[in-house]
A = this chain, B = another copy of it.
Amino acid sequence: MTSPLRLGIAGLGTVGMGVVKILRSQTDLLATRTGRQITISAVSARDKTRDRGISLAGYAWETDPVALAVRDDVDVFVELMGGSEGPARTATEAALAAGKDVVTANKALLALHGQELAEKAEATGRSIRFEAAVAGGIPVIKSLMEGLAGNNITRVMGVMNGTCNYILTRMEHSGLPYEDVFKEADALGYLEADPTLDVGGIDAGHKLAILSAIAFGTRPDFDGIEIEGIDRVSIDDIRAAADMGFRIKLLGVAQKTGRGLVQRMQPCLVPAASPIGQLEGGTNMVVLEGDAVEQIVLRGPGAGQGPTASAVMGDICDIARGLRLPVFGQPAATLEAAQPAISALPAPFYLRMSLLDKPGALAKVTAILGNSEISIDRMRQYGHADGSAPVLIVTHKTTRTALNEALKALAATDVVSTQPVALRIEHV
């Protein structure tokens, strides 16, 4: 048996303690599977005195995560503090400089500084593994980077923020407006300290940037993602979408096209009967498409102590077993700068607007759409209430440019009472 693999764990919150629990309860199983003992040399966290339910007395305590990262008795620095800057970044850089492998669950760090960190890791022949950074317990990084390595990846999609999916499905089932369900989620502790990370689509955007880099061999390009959060999704739209056979999801899509790399994270309509449409609550789903494999769909818990710790342990076991790859699956030097798409691919759109009760109102709307060469697939007009009538339209494929033109023209008429809502429809 090879020498033990010695860990230094920085961050002893939910995930960190989940990792400690697995290392203690599965000691023999892990040794059998990896061919060596996996031990903890030292730990670090902000508060040493907090009762975490498990005694950490057997491990050296470091107040400074940087000091932990460079200890002689640490082979792998396990970074579970989070945050793209500050201690997480400094300690990760220190660990790499000291020739340690790094395992992290930190999506922001990888999405924003992935290229630089990959170059540092590869310069010293070390690896950074980050399965837990995307879609919790689902082994999606491994599936994409290793399992589908023979594919020219064509598209990656996913619902990757459980909190947003919880809010959207809860709105639909309860009929409550966004604000109320947001407060519920907050009370349940589902939201990040800065909730815009979740509901603003930023957390999910970080995850998409990581998947995109692996899928298409491009440098992580978080800034190139078109991001829109769920905070403007109304209960009216959720109801109307359901009425037309759709559900609204915060969906990430990354796709390489002739016009450049499309990366967007935004609320979309998906068919209610599709796998993504059926996704409830905090569950995550990732769809991977390649020229050979066609389509793979992976579903599982996107957060939580056990699932996230499972992903961290998968990475630790890989390193214990000697499996080492370039950080994004190919040498950092070969990753190309992402060329953001100059215009998105045409898609069908869902439009909701309120028409004033005037003769010829609907004729004006259809004429404007026709002028922008937008053809209508389905339309529903509902009963008039207080002088205005909700109208739902599903268009055939059109460009965002044509749509914006039409929306502008609609706003200039005297028949549309409020700003029309336009959401992309994704057939998944």
Q: Which residues of A contact B (CB under 8 A)?
A: 18, 22, 26, 29-30, 32-35, 131, 137-139, 142-143, 146-152, 217, 275, 278, 290-301, 304, 306-307, 309-314, 316-318, 321-326, 329-331, 334
Q: Are A329 and B33 in contact (CB under 8 A)?
A: yes
Instruction: Give the distance in Å from the alpha carbon of A190 to the alpha carbon of B298 in the complex.
Output: 26
**Mind listing 21 A-B residue pairs with CB under 8 Å?**
A29-B217, A32-B217, A34-B149, A137-B292, A137-B294, A138-B296, A139-B147, A142-B147, A146-B146, A146-B323, A147-B311, A150-B313, A150-B314, A150-B316, A275-B275, A292-B309, A292-B310, A294-B300, A294-B301, A298-B298, A323-B323
Residues from chain B with Cβ under 8 Å of A306 in the complex: 291-294
Give A9 Cβ to nearest chain B Cβ, in Å.
14
Q: Identify 18 new A-B residue pairs, CB closer than 8 A, beyond the known A18-B292, A146-B318, A147-B311.
A: A32-B217, A137-B294, A137-B296, A139-B296, A142-B143, A143-B143, A151-B310, A151-B313, A292-B307, A292-B309, A292-B313, A293-B306, A294-B304, A296-B298, A296-B299, A297-B300, A323-B323, A323-B325
Residues from chain B with Cβ under 8 Å of A325 in the complex: 321, 323
Instruction: Give the distance in Å from the alpha carbon of A153 to the alpha carbon of B282 in the complex.
Output: 22
Q: Are A150 and B317 in contact (CB under 8 A)?
A: yes
Residues from chain B with Cβ under 8 Å of A278 in the complex: 278
Give A142 Cβ to nearest chain B Cβ, in Å.
5
Instruction: From A18, A150, A299, A329, name the one whose CB has the most chain B CB atoms within 10 angstroms.
Output: A150
Q: Are B299 and A137 in contact (CB under 8 A)?
A: no
Q: Are B294 and A148 in contact (CB under 8 A)?
A: no
Q: Are B26 and A317 in contact (CB under 8 A)?
A: no
Q: Are B310 and A290 in contact (CB under 8 A)?
A: yes
Instruction: Give the distance in Å from the alpha carbon of A300 to the alpha carbon of B151 in the complex.
Output: 15
Instruction: Give the distance in Å from the alpha carbon of A151 to the alpha carbon of B22 in the complex.
Output: 8
Answer whether A137 and B310 are a contact pair too, CB < 8 Å, given A146-B142, A298-B298.
no
Answer whether A293 and B301 are a contact pair too, CB < 8 Å, given A34-B149, A149-B34.
yes
